[in-house]
């Protein structure tokens, strides 16, 4: 995840200068009529831009998910930079032969050719040399981008063609998107979605374990090439919208954000596509409301905002839900330890059968576990609020009927797991209490039923005594 955070941070750093330069101009808040005009898509150009960027974001989110799972997020950065010399070379070649060098189809074909070449270069260097992936990515990115800058300088000096506007492929020029550009993006995005759906199983196996996929007979080389070809396709069609620098954020940010919401790959794919589409939709809408703000940069910032929301509130991996879940688990464990302490103290005094009538002093509980006074008082207050505990006239504590049921349940699960570890995991009785204490809090009903069935099938005469029973017998003898 650290790599993905660095990519998102780098995209934000590149997007902020565009926002800052726009802030130097007058930024007026949109009027109600302007807001309605954009929301109702009354303007032709607004409809084209929003349609194109929304479909681009959805396609980038889909294929970006597999790219993220393949741990090749940085490969999209190398592919994007490798398209620059293709654009410049296509312009030069077409212009020298008397054609329109800025023909979009020719430029995109050149970008696709060099993007594929850059992708192949990275894969070949990684496969046939001892260099790591990061070194191969850095070499290809810097070499191709340097070649692209050189060819762009050469293109500006040609007398046979007008090279004005080529630099827009670096930073993007969303507002100049034409209907044919949006249609090209739409058709390509639909193709990406269809191929991802048809090859979902194959891409999934390849993304999680390439060696296993090869052992099962999958053509991993062909599948890997198809996946990377889709990445090249999305990169190329996104050049006109957000540019070769910011397209990386559209391939990385949506899947990185989607992983905070689910552990299921299908849901991650759908969520990633939705986040990518929402980034394009709202980013273009905000740019349309405030024309001085560059659309490409705003799209990336909207995606980063959605990533931040996912990072904080994602139901599967979000920081806040995880903290709440850990807190609830901690409180649950503390309560179980308290109930067990009451039972074990009663067992030492031979009063386990009359657990609810056995009084326990605060000092006894304090010695039973590694609690401090403040922590134990807090746990006792929670137990009283839950009606598991009552306080006698002399300040002693005793369990209620509900608390007794809970204590017997927890001690039963604990010792059931202990007996399993002793008999089936070959754990010494002197160490089993600690090992059981680490797992008993996450036993569900199905696991407890399986343990009971397993223990019932074992000859009781062969079962060793629980260490708690042994210590209780020693206490009675003394």
User: In the listed set 202, 222, 248, which residue is the last one of a domain according to the structure?
Assistant: 248
Can you tell me the distance from the alpha carbon of 308 to that of 306, in angstroms, rounded to the nearest whole number? Answer: 5
pLDDT higher than threshold 70 for residue 324: yes
Does residue 202 fall inside a structural domain? yes
Cross-strand partners of 390 = 398
What is the band of 476 on the pLDDT scale with cuts at 50, 70, 90?
Answer: very low
Q: Which among 5, 7, 3 has a CA at the least distance from the CA of 245?
A: 7
Q: pTM (2 decimals)?
A: 0.74
pLDDT higher than threshold 70 for residue 437: no
What is the band of 274 on the pLDDT scale with cuts at 50, 70, 90?
Answer: very high
pLDDT higher than threshold 90 for residue 43: no
Which 3 state secondary structure label does DSSP give 149? helix
Does residue 209 fall inside a structural domain? yes
472, 475, 476, 478: CA torsion to nearest 10: 160
For 172, 225, 283, 287, 314, the CA distances from 302, given in Å and listed in that order, are 16, 31, 6, 11, 17
Phi, psi (deg, nearest 5) at residue 391 = -115, 130
How many CA atoms are closer than 13 Å to the CA of 215, on its beta-carbon side?
A: 5
Q: What is the mean pLDDT of residues 118-133?
A: 81
| Per-residue pLDDT at 287 | 80
Q: Which among 1, 59, 56, 67 has a CA at the least distance from the CA of 224?
A: 67
Report how far Cα 289 is from the mean position of its chain's Cα atoms. 31
- Number of structural domains (the chain) is 2
Share of the chain above pLDDT 90, in %: 9
List the CATH number of the domain containing 431: 1.10.10.10
Range of 155's domain? 2-7+33-248
Per DSSP, the residues of 334-396 read HHHHHHHHHHHHHHHTT-GGGGGG--B-HHHHHHHTT--HHHHHHHHHHHHHTTSEEE-TTS-
Who wins on pLDDT, 318 or 167? 318
Residues 89 and 219 in one domain: yes
User: 133-137, 232-236, 353-357, 360-364: which range is least confident on average?
Assistant: 133-137
pLDDT higher than threshold 60 for residue 110: yes
Q: What is the mean pLDDT of residues 344-370?
A: 83
pLDDT digits (tens, 9 = 90+) for 338-353: 888 888 888 888 888 8
Token pair 């496969």 in the structure block, residue: 127
Per DSSP, the residues of 296-312 read HHHHHHHHHHHHHHHHH
| Per-residue pLDDT at 246 | 75
Can you tell me the distance from the alpha carbon of 307 to that of 297, in angstroms, rounded to the nearest whole number? Answer: 15
pLDDT higher than threshold 90 for residue 267: yes
Q: What is the mean pLDDT of residues 466-476?
A: 48
Q: What is the mean pLDDT of residues 331-344?
A: 85
| Per-residue pLDDT at 48 | 81
pLDDT higher than threshold 90 for residue 320: yes
pLDDT higher than threshold 80 for residue 93: yes
User: In the listed set 218, 248, 278, which residue is the last one of a domain according to the structure?
Assistant: 248
Residues 233 and 330 in one domain: no
For 8, 112, 380, the CA distances from 256, given in Å and listed in that order, are 9, 25, 42
Residue 290 DSSP class: S
pLDDT higher than threshold 70 for residue 28: no
Average model confidence (pLDDT) across the chain: 78
User: In the listed set 201, 217, 248, which residue is the last one of a domain according to the structure?
Assistant: 248
List the CATH number of the domain containing 223: 1.10.3470.10
Phi, psi (deg, nearest 5) at residue 397 = -110, 145
């Amino acid at each position: 995840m650290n790599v993905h955070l660095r990519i998102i941070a780098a995209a934000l750093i590149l997007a902020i200068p565009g926002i800052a330069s726009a802030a130097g101009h007058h930024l007026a808040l949109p009027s109600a009529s302007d807001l309605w005009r954009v929301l109702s898509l009354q303007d032709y150009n607004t409809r084209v831009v929003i349609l194109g960027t929304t479909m681009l974001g959805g396609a980038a989110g889909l294929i970006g998910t597999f790219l993220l799972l393949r741990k090749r997020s940085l490969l999209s950065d190398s592919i994007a930079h490798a398209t620059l010399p293709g654009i410049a070379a296509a312009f030069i070649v077409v212009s020298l032969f008397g054609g329109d060098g800025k023909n979009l189809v020719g430029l995109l074909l050149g970008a696709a050719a060099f993007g594929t070449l850059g992708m192949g270069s990275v894969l070949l260097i990684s496969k046939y040399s001892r260099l790591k992936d990061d070194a191969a990515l850095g070499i290809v990115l810097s070499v191709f981008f340097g070649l692209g800058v050189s060819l762009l300088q050469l293109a500006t000096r040609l007398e046979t063609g007008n090279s004005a506007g080529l630099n827009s492929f670096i930073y993007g020029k969303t507002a100049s998107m034409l209907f044919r550009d949006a249609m090209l993006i739409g058709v390509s995005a639909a193709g990406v979605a269809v191929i991802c759906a048809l090859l979902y199983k194959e891409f999934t196996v390849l993304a999680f374990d390439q060696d296993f996929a090869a052992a099962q007979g999958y053509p991993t080389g062909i599948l890997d090439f198809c996946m990377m070809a889709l990445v090249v396709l999305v990169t190329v069609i996104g050049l006109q919208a957000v540019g070769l620098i910011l397209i990386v954020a559209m391939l990385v940010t949506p899947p990185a954000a989607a992983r905070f919401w689910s552990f299921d790959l299908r849901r991650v794919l759908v969520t990633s596509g939705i986040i990518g589409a929402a980034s394009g939709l709202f980013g273009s809408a905000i740019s349309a409301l405030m024309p001085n703000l560059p659309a490409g940069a705003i799209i990336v910032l909207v995606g980063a905002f959605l990533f931040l929301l996912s990072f904080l509130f994602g139901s599967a991996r979000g920081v806040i839900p995880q903290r709440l879940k850990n807190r609830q688990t901690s409180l649950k464990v503390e309560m179980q330890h308290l109930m067990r302490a009451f039972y074990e103290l009663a067992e030492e005094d031979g009063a386990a059968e009359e657990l609810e009538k056995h009084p326990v002093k605060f000092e006894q509980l304090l010695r039973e576990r590694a609690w401090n006074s403040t922590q134990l008082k807090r746990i006792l207050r929670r137990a009283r609020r839950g009606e598991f505990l009552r306080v006698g006239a002399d300040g002693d504590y005793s369990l209620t009927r509900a608390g007794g049921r809970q204590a017997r349940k927890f001690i039963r699960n604990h010792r059931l797991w202990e007996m399993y570890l002793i008999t089936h995991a070959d754990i010494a009785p002197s160490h089993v209490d600690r090992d059981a204490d680490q797992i008993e809090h996450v036993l569900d009903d199905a696991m407890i039923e399986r343990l009971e069935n397993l223990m019932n099938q074992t000859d009781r005469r062969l079962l060793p005594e629980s260490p708690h029973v042994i210590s209780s017998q020693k206490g009675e003898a003394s």
